[in-house]
Amino acid sequence: ADGELVQYHYGLKDLVTILFYIFIAIILHAVVQEYALDKINRRLHLSKVKHSKFNESGQLVAFHLTSMVWCLYVVVTEGYISNPRSLWENYPHVYLPFQVKFFYLCQLAYWLHALPELYFQKVRKEEIPRQLRCIALYLVHIAGAYLLNLTRLGLILLLLQYLAEFFFHMARLVYFTDENNEKLFNVWAVVFVVTRLFTLTLYILVIGFGLPRVENQALDPERGNFFSFLFNNILFRMSVLLLVCLFQASVMWRFIHFQLRRWREYWNEQSSRKRAAASAQQQAKPLKSYHENGVVKAENGTSPRTKKLKSP
């Protein structure tokens, strides 16, 4: 009421808040599973493998859509998109608005809740290493942005990542309902490439040009300035950018390999269908008949009439 702006810092009490929202995430997970995904699964009659993947994609579609809308609202209202310089100006960004801090705590709670859900959902052993890898990567990046005071950059990167992931899991849901419908995979491919380009551009803009121009370049952990002084060294800065480019190149290489394999399987399936249709047409084609000495015969020389067997 008096016009004061309240901001927040991270601390040990965040762990209690995260624990509380872990339980909230488990409850919401069960609600989505019970009232939406299980009902759809009973209608589709999917196999065990597809059933597990359908549940995974269904939960992630709900989460990514919610997080994407929420993250977009935060970056727009805080002015991070309209003013890109705010991503590195006045670094370190120690004090956070309530909605930024609350968003990060909820994100950490969701990905931590995914660990016990591996047991509750009875995930197959073959799928556990992949899902653990995914959960660990999200936790490391989100917690790193939160603890190293790079929350503004982290919000934009999460928005781009969740946008691509939303289209991928939405395409998988549509594919499970209709295996001939793969149009959304093409949309996801375009969105994935665009988001990778924006991510690489953002890294170059912030690391290559933004952080080296920060006024406070001294190492000061008490004020939250952990590594901006390192970006004054051009060798360190170029090494970080090289690692980022190599990582993005490896991601694009896996993506291209996946697309080539998918297209190859699609064309092989189409050619096999054409061969099957051609052979079916040949079998269904009627034999031409002609008259010879008053007897009707087929093209292969046999009479179309069935012969009666004489009794012995």
Does residue 257 sit within a domain? no
Per residue in 123-175, pLDDT (tens digit) is 888 889 999 999 999 999 999 999 888 899 999 999 999 999 999 999 999 98
> Helices 48-77 and 13-32 meet at what angle, rounded to 10?
130
pLDDT tens across 199-245, in order? Answer: 999 988 888 787 777 766 666 666 666 666 666 667 777 888 888 88
Q: How far apart are CA 270 and CA 264, in angstroms?
A: 10
Structural domain includes residue 237: no
Residue 15 CA, distance from chain mean position: 27
The answer as to whether 224 is a domain residue is no
Both tokens of 167, joined, read 């289209």
In the chain, how many domains are there? 1
Q: Is residue 104 part of a domain?
A: yes
For 184, the domain range is: 7-214
Tell me the backbone φ, ψ of residue 221, rounded to 5 degrees.
-60, -30
290 belongs to a structural domain: no
If we measure between CA atoms, which residue out of 155, 236, 244 comes closest to residue 197? Answer: 244
**CA 82, 86, 92: angle at the middle one, nearest 5?**
160
pTM above 0.95, yes or no: no
* CA-atom Rg of the chain in angstroms: 30
Assess if residue 295 is contained within a domain.
Answer: no
Residue 307 lies in a domain: no
- State the angle between helix axes of 48-77 and 151-177 in degrees (0 to 180), rounded to the nearest 10: 150
User: What interhelical angle do 13-32 and 98-120 show, nearest 10?
Assistant: 60
- Assess if residue 87 is contained within a domain: yes
Q: Find out whether 212 and 227 touch, Cβ atoms under 8 Å.
A: no
